[in-house]
């Protein structure tokens, strides 16, 4: 009600005065005084309305006291608060607020921008690195970030040029090279200290990998998985070439791996479970009177082989049985083909390849 509003003002002001003084250089009395001016400014309206009707509320001319402008009422108080904050030594804005005002992103630390450096200077630092470490392969986390960025950047630049069919960059008469510009002179200069333009490992001969594979198998009793480093990647490549039926590979390298019982399908038969494969095989035998499952590629039409069809999946499963059986006869790991399963297949007349 109109009569209750003024009575509540002193109690409200008293509660605010008893509150703890806020941090940041603004004291409680000053803040309480500012809030009091708010109350005085807005309580004039109901008082004027009660005394003079709608005219007072409309233009402030009908009452005993004029309606104060809010800016005038608060100006002195706000200026006093700002002055008190400046005297306390605190900035007007927090660092986060200042970053936002400057157009930066709040909450993120800006990366320190490294000063520019010319090629000759960075080359001398690379030479010093080589003398200490014996190589020029500066790691990304190296303390000298300028040097690390240069090594990475000039390798990327040379690789980009190579993909474009360009060996070196040619500069115009008035053109100045950038730090990572790859000219013939710079290329020779970096080569003179043994700089490696690529950091991939050296190629290993197939025979050496084959020996490494057999050493692994004889030690662990299983073939390495693809996740087993460079040897695992090599094994995966052999299986890929085999599945594609690469003519040169099948003629030269396939026989050597096949002779030692290499599993061409990881973990034996991965295309279907033993139960599903056995059911499809027995159904094929009842229908055709034999278990010589043909390769669908030999009878496929122009549309090619449907690799999701049961015919293709059964053929692959049977081929994996023959591969695992060779390992079984040699006394090696034979995937999912256990002795019991060999006996089950033999009882139904399945002809294992003996070669």
Q: For 126-161, how does the pLDDT look when each residue is reduced to its tens digit (9 = 90+)?
A: 999 999 888 888 988 888 999 999 999 999 988 888
pLDDT at 105 over 50: yes
Tell me: do 317 and 229 sit in the same domain: yes
Tens digit of each residue's pLDDT (9 = 90 or more) over 203-217? 788 999 999 999 988
| pLDDT (mean) for 288-305 | 81
Based on the fold, state whether residues 329 and 283 are members of the same structural domain: yes
pLDDT band at 108 (very low <50, low <70, confident <90, very high): low
Q: Based on the number of CB atoms within 10 Å of its own CB, is 138 exposed (0-12), middle (13-18) or buried (19 or more)?
A: buried
Per the prediction, the chain carries an average pLDDT of 75
Residue 338 pLDDT > 70: yes
67 shares its domain with 129: no
Name the domain boundary from 161, 191, 221. 191
Task: Indicate whether 220 and 341 sit together in one domain.
Answer: yes
- How far apart are alpha carbons 99 and 93 in whole angstroms? 10
Residue 353 forms part of a structural domain = no
109 in a structural domain: no
32 has a pLDDT exceeding 60: yes
Does one domain contain both 254 and 302? yes
Considering the domain architecture, whether residues 74 and 131 belong to the same structural domain is answered as: no
Evaluate whether residue 169 is within a structural domain: yes
Domain end marker among 101, 128, 150: 101
What's the confidence (pLDDT) of residue 285? 93
Give the residue with greater pLDDT, 41 vs 29: 29
Residue 251 resides in a domain: yes
* Range with the largest mean pLDDT of 64-78, 80-94, 170-184: 170-184
Pair 279, 169 in one domain? no
Note whether residue 352 is domain-resident: no
Same domain (yes/no): 270, 340: yes
Most confident of 28-42, 217-231, 234-248, 295-309: 234-248
C-alpha torsion angle, residues 53, 56, 59, 60 (rounded to 10)? 180
Give residue-wise pLDDT tens across range 326-337. 878 888 766 678
Which of these ranges, 25-34, 40-49, 268-277, has the smallest mean pLDDT? Answer: 40-49
Residue 112 lies in a domain: no
Structural domains of the chain, count: 3
Give the pLDDT of residue 97: 63
Which of 354 and 301 is assigned the larger pLDDT? 354
Per-residue pLDDT at 103: 60
Asked if residue 336 and residue 231 are part of one domain, the reply reads yes
Within a 13 Å sphere around the CA of 195, how many CA atoms are in the beta-carbon half? 22
Residue 123 has pLDDT above 90, yes or no: yes
pLDDT at 54: 45
Is 251's pLDDT higher than 60? yes
User: What's the pLDDT at 328?
Assistant: 83
Clarify whether residues 124 and 243 are in a common domain: no
156 is a domain residue: yes
More confident residue, 201 or 238: 238
Q: Which of 45, 74, 101 is the last residue of a domain?
A: 101
Residue 343 lies in a domain: yes
- Same-domain status, 125 and 231: no
Judge if 221 and 268 occupy the same domain: yes
Q: Note if the pTM is more than 0.75.
A: no
Q: Domain span at residue 215?
A: 206-347
Question: CA-CA distance, 79 to 68, in Å (whole number)?
Answer: 18
């Amino acid at each position: 009600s109109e009569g209750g509003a003024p009575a509540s003002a002193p109690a409200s002001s008293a509660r605010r005065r008893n509150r703890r003084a806020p941090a940041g250089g603004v004291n409680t009395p000053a803040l309480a005084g500012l809030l009091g001016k708010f109350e005085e400014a807005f309580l004039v309206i109901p008082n004027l309305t009660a005394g003079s009707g709608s005219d007072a509320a409309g233009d402030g001319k009908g009452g005993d006291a004029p309606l104060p402008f809010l800016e005038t009422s608060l100006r002195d108080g706000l200026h006093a608060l700002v002055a008190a904050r400046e005297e306390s030594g605190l900035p007007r804005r927090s660092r986060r607020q200042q970053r936002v005002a400057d157009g930066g992103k709040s909450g993120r630390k800006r990366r320190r921008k490294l000063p520019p450096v010319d090629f000759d200077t960075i080359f001398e630092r690379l030479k010093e690195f080589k003398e200490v470490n014996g190589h020029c392969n500066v790691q990304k986390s190296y303390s000298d970030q300028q040097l690390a960025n240069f090594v990475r950047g000039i390798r990327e630049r040379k690789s980009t040029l190579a993909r474009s069919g360009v060996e070196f960059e040619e500069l115009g008469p008035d053109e100045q090279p950038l730090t990572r510009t790859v000219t013939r002179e710079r290329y020779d200069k970096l080569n003179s200290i043994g700089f490696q333009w690529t950091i991939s490992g050296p190629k290993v001969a197939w025979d050496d990998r084959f020996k490494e594979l057999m050493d692994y198998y004889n030690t662990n009793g299983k073939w390495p998985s693809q996740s087993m480093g460079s040897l695992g990647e090599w094994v995966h490549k052999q299986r890929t070439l085999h599945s594609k039926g690469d003519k040169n590979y099948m003629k030269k390298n396939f026989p050597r791996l096949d002779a030692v019982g290499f599993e061409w399908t990881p973990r034996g038969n991965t295309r279907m479970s033993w139960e599903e494969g056995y059911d499809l095989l027995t159904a094929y035998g009842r229908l055709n009177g034999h278990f010589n499952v043909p390769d669908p590629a030999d009878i496929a039409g122009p549309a090619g082989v449907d690799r999701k069809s049961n015919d293709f999946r059964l053929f692959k499963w049977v081929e994996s049985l023959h591969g695992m059986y060779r390992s079984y006869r040699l006394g090696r790991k034979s995937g999912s083909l256990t002795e019991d399963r060999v006996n089950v297949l033999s009882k139904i007349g399945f002809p294992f390849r003996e070669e």
